[in-house]
Structure 1
Amino acid sequence: MNSRAVDHVETVLRSQGEESETKLIHVARNSLGDLRQRLDQQSHRFALVSVTQLTRDASARPNIPADLNRIKPPPKPPIFHGREDLVQTIVDLLLKDETCRVPLLGAGGIGKTALVTTILNDERVKKKFGENVFFLSCESLVSASGIILALASALGLQQDAGARQAVIHYFSSFKYVLLALDNFETTWDSDDRAEVEALLAELAAVSPQSLFVTMRGALRPAGVDWTDCILDTLDPLSLDAARRMWMRIAKKVDSKLDDLLRLLDGLPLAIMLMAQQGQVLSSSELLTAYTEERTSLLSQGAAGRLTSLEVSIELSLNSRTMQAEPNARKLLSVLCLLPDGIPMLQLNHMLPSMPHAGRSVRVLLHAALAVNKAGRISTLSPIREFMLQKYPPEDADVADTRAHFTGLPQLMDRLNGPKTEALDILLAEFGNMNTVFLHFWRDSPGPDAVEGLLEATLNLAQFSVLTGCGDCMLLLRTASISLDGTGNRQGAAQCLQSMGNALPVLKNRYSEAMEKLEEAKATFEAIGNRWGAAECTQRMGDVLRMQNRYEEAMEKLEEAKATFESIGNREGVAQCVRRMGDVLYMWSRYEEATEKFEEAKVAFQAIGSHGQVALCCKVLAEVFMAQHKTAQAQSLLHQAIDIFTSIGLLEEVHYCRSLWDELQGPRGLWAPARRLFRRLRGRPHS
Structure 2
Amino acid sequence: MFHASQSGSQPVPIHSFEPIGGSVDVAITTIETSLAALKEASSLMSRIPYISPVAGLLLQVLTMRDEVKQNKEEWGVVMRKLGRVAGLVVNVGESCQKYNLEENDLPPGLRSILRSLENDLSGIESLLKQSAEIGYIRKALLRKDLLRKVKQYDGELSNVLQTFQAELALDARFEQIAERRKGIPAGPSGPSNVITSIPQEPHSPQIFFGRDAELAEILQMILIGIRGSRPARIAILGPGGYGKTTLANAVLTHPQVQEQFGGARYFVACESVFSSGALLVELAKMLGVLDGGSDASWSRIHAAGDMRHSVEELLTRVTALNSVTLLITMRGTMRPGQTLWTKPALAPLNTLSHDAARDIWEEIGQNYDDAAEELIISVDYVPLAVSLLAHLAQATSPALLLKEWNQNQTKFVQMGQTHISNLEYSIQLSIDSGRMRANPPAKDLLGVLSMLPDGIHTSQLGRFKEILVEMDILSNCEVISSKYKDSLQNFYINLASSNSFEAQPKYHAEMVLEINNTKAILFDLLKSNYGNNSKLVEAIITFTYFHVGIGDHSDKLISQTVETLQQRPSDTSVLIRCLQAWGRLYFYASDIENAKVKMQEVEGLCLSSPYNNSSLHAEVLRNLSELYLTEGALNEAEVSCQKALELHKIANSVLWQANDHKGLEDIFLRLSRLDEAEASYTEALKFHKIANSVLGQANDHKGLGDTFLRLSRLDEAEASYREALKFYKIANSVLGQANDHKDLGTHF
Length-normalised TM-score, structure 2? 0.45
| Larger RCO (CA under 8 A, 6+ residues apart) | 1
